[in-house]
Chain A
Amino acid sequence: MTSDFSRRHFLLTSAAAGLAPFALGLPAARAAAGGTVTLRLGDDLSNLDPAYRVGTIEGNILRAVCQQLAKFKPGSLDWEPDAAKSIKQNSDTEIEFELNPGQMFHGGYGEMTAEDVKFSFERFTKPDKTGAMVPYADDFAALDHVEVTGTYTGKLILKNPAPAIWTIGICDASGTILSKKAFEALGDKVATQAIGTGPYLFKEWKAREHVILAANPDYKGADTAPFAEMTLKPIVENRTALLALMAGEVALTEADVTAEDELAKAKANGIESLKIDGIDYTWIGINVEKGPLADLKVRQAIRLGIDVQSILDGAYGGKVGRANALLAPALLGYWAEAPVYNRDPAAAKALLAEAGQTGIALTFTCLNDAISQATAQIVQANLAEIGITVTINAIDPGAYWAMGSGDASKDLDLTLIPYTSKFDPGFQTQWFVSAQVGVWNWQRWKNAEFDSLHKEAGSTLDKAVRQEKYVRMQQLLDESASCVWITHGAHLFGYAKTLKPVMLPDGTDWQLRDFAPA
């Protein structure tokens, strides 16, 4: 009796649940510009504490919710005062600021004062409660302390001249000003709750479903929030996100660069596209300490044996530009005259013969994503033609990035390495210094001149001098033949024509507070 009843009940319920949606005629959701807008995030948030943020997603949100002393102008690397009424560099080691009065923190945490600036910045200079420095400590490595001279005034006292502190520290997410009072009251909850004074309030974060930012009615700045509400929806898969854009569920998404033609075709349906050349850098690192690779001629032969253009065409669909040196064209220190090494198997073989090397067998280590594996296969085929046997070792990110500890890099031969950049060239060159051997310098190339140039270029404010030094550093890297540069990448966005997105010139830093209806 009981089992009869259960089965019938179950069947009826299943039938009802299965058929009901078909009878409802459900409309698809639409992203509405003007009052509200829905944007796609590539992943969910992880940690909203600026010192422990995991990626650019948190940084993008923090810059919309919080203020900095100065911020980048829309789409530009030039900066302008934000929370500061005025900010100026008095000397190589002193930056003076005065805050605008009346900037109130969300949630009733009071007015922003110079004490909040001191608290927010000095967190990066001291060990945290576990005794470790915060992950983003390097962003304020040059900061000695913040001197509070009044309720709204203070000075950043630096240990040494540090031009990078503007672009990496003050204007980036590490420079967002927190409420000391809120931080002390919330404790570990600052990881999930952003309290700021910016144009948007952090209204809601439903893990893996959405983040909602709402216009801050108390915002005192000139650039008030253009949208009443901004919903950020995490969608991990790029293809799904593109379909969501086409279906009108989101008004903006980043897409694979190979989707450029597809997006162009969607223009008739009100979809626009935006492509920004990247400043990141992907290269093939050659371990200069390992077996035959210790011979410069072998490294030069490998450089001439690899067809970079084929990699760009085959692995990236021909949609990204070629890198010829470490620093991208948009950055200070760009080496415009860097040599372009086109494939020359005959010359490569001649170099191997000169080196007296035959039967070389190498391992090519890379991440296990599609682009990296396609690159590895092209390199394998290229080098086979000059007599070098390559075995591909494609591994997942966990195992790959673990090679940055315990001197694991000593066993690498050739490695495809994708790094992200910051706007100061010193952030990029730091990974190639001698002290990074055994850590993140997987080429294990050491050069005393490079090391001292890195130090000098990072502590002078003269742009012309810095430009010269960074170019020289790239020349030294080029002479070492320890790197085969592939690309600086590119970022492609599809967006509804009703939206005007604003990005910094790297394509990864979104200026959400400047997004507006078109």
Chain B
Amino acid sequence: MSDAVGIIWRRVLTGALTVVGAITLLFLLIQFVPGDLASILYGPRVTDALRASLAERMGTDQPLPVQLYLFLSHAVRGDFGTNVISGRPILDEILGVLPNTLALALSALGLSLLIGIPLGALAAVRPGSLADRILGALSVVLITTPSFVVAILLLLVFSLALDWLPVAGAGTPGDPVDQLAHLILPTTALAVGWIGYLARLVRASLLEVLAEPHVRTLRAYGVPEWRVILIYALRPALIPVIAILGMALGDLIGGALFAELIFGRPGLGTLAYNAVVSRNFAVVQATTTVIVLVYVTANIAVDILSGAIDPRFRRTAGEEAR
């Protein structure tokens, strides 16, 4: 029990250091980015006084260590400051769009698991069969097809030709059915690559488990094949899948940007992208911090989950802790 608590604390501490490290690195990188908010917003209308005024309001006229200290000390209290363009609190802007991005990333992850795992299992139970070869080819196609191509095809088929699903937006606030309808196409476009990848991973992992002695023993005892696969083989075969869930979620949050742009969805990706383009560094810092936080939290959760499921992981982590 004390080992488990120690492992969790160790993960949380590592996660906190990762967040601080990422923010610090971003602060340093921003210093090398040419351009300023005022010039981009107002073009030829900008004056030096206006540039200075905006820099002062954003705090970018301060020395770098002061900026970093101010940002971190405010961020831990949930205060990311005010967006100097709109005058709104940055946290409100982030919280306004974060649910859309999380819904998109999580639904894409869910869809990937829902389709990728059965596809991989199906291929693994009949290795070398026609079904395996077809599913193998399909997985490669899914992995290599650019998501934006899938997105456009989905729009053309399901929105234009069939008129089943909406094209743009995140749906009417307070109308879950409409919001769900707006989620289907971007979720599918975002999930496609991961479906293929998970199918490959599950196939390889399940084949490995099916070749292990305990499976041979179970079969020798006459345990029905469906029980062998679903109960005794698939469960350990899914351990590698769980291990990459955190990474998958991070990738899907990052990948949400293209889906948000193509499907006209408000989200964290578009908020960050617009902030980068307009050099609105306060918003860039805040959105990046939130993305890193989500990513780190997801990875800690996955680590804990892995420890709960796989005793080998628990043992290794315990030895590391000692």
Contacts and interface: CB of A to CB of B under 8 A. Distances in A.
A244 B86 contact: no
Contacts of B36: 398, 402, 405
Interface residues of A, number: 64
A234 B270 CA distance: 12
B218 interface: no
A249 B114 contact: no
B111 A29 contact: no
Given A21-B180, A207-B93, A207-B97, A398 B40 contact: yes
Interface string B234-259: 00000000000000000000000000
A47 B46 contact: no
A209 B266 contact: yes
B87 A188 contact: yes
A261 interface: no
A83 B106 CA distance: 52
B209 interface: no
B187 to A, nearest CB: 9
Contact of B40 (A189, A233, A401): A401
Contacts of B181: 21, 24, 26
Interface stretch (B13-21, B168-176, B288-296): B168-176
B51 A405 contact: yes
Contact of B35 (A131, A398, A431): A398
A192 B86 CA distance: 7
Contacts of A90: none
A15 interface: yes
Most chain A Cβ neighbours within 10 Å, of B39, B156, B180, B261: B39
A18 B110 contact: yes
B261 A237 contact: yes
B309 A237 contact: no
A210 B46 CA distance: 29
Contact of A208 (B42, B56, B96): B96
Nearest to B264: A235
B142 interface: no
A13 B107 CA distance: 11
A370 interface: no
Nearest to B48: A405
Interface stretch (B124-132, B159-167, B198-206, B313-321): B159-167
A240 B167 contact: yes
Interface string B265-309: 011001100000111000000000000000000000000010011
Contacts of B270: 208, 236
A4 to B, nearest CB: 9
A250 B159 CA distance: 13
A516 interface: no
A58 to B, nearest CB: 11
Given A21-B184, A240-B167, A3 B309 contact: yes
A440 to B, nearest CB: 4
B263 interface: yes
Contacts of B39: 398, 401-402, 404-405
B134 interface: no
A132 B53 contact: yes
Contacts of A188: 87
Contact of A241 (B49, B53, B264, B278): B264
Given A28-B164, A397-B277, A237 B44 contact: no
Given A26-B181, A235-B264, A396-B277, A243 B166 contact: no
Interface of A: 2-3, 11, 13-15, 17-18, 20-21, 24, 26, 28-29, 45-47, 54, 127-128, 130-133, 135-136, 138, 188-189, 191-192, 206-210, 233-237, 239-241, 243-244, 246-247, 249-250, 396-402, 404-405, 419-420, 431, 439-440
24 contacts: A18-B114, A21-B183, A26-B177, A28-B159, A29-B166, A45-B86, A135-B46, A191-B86, A192-B87, A207-B86, A207-B93, A208-B96, A209-B173, A236-B261, A236-B270, A244-B167, A244-B168, A396-B35, A397-B277, A401-B39, A405-B39, A419-B43, A420-B43, A439-B44
Given A21-B180, A249-B168, A401-B40, 18 more contacts: A3-B305, A17-B107, A20-B180, A28-B165, A130-B57, A135-B41, A135-B42, A207-B86, A207-B88, A233-B264, A235-B264, A237-B261, A239-B262, A241-B264, A398-B39, A398-B279, A402-B39, A404-B43
Closest 6 CB pairs of A and B: A398-B35, A208-B266, A191-B87, A235-B264, A132-B53, A132-B49
Interface of B: 33-36, 39-53, 56-57, 85-88, 93, 96-97, 107, 110-111, 113-114, 152, 155-156, 159-160, 163-170, 173, 177-178, 180-181, 183-184, 261-264, 266-267, 270-271, 277-279, 305, 308-309
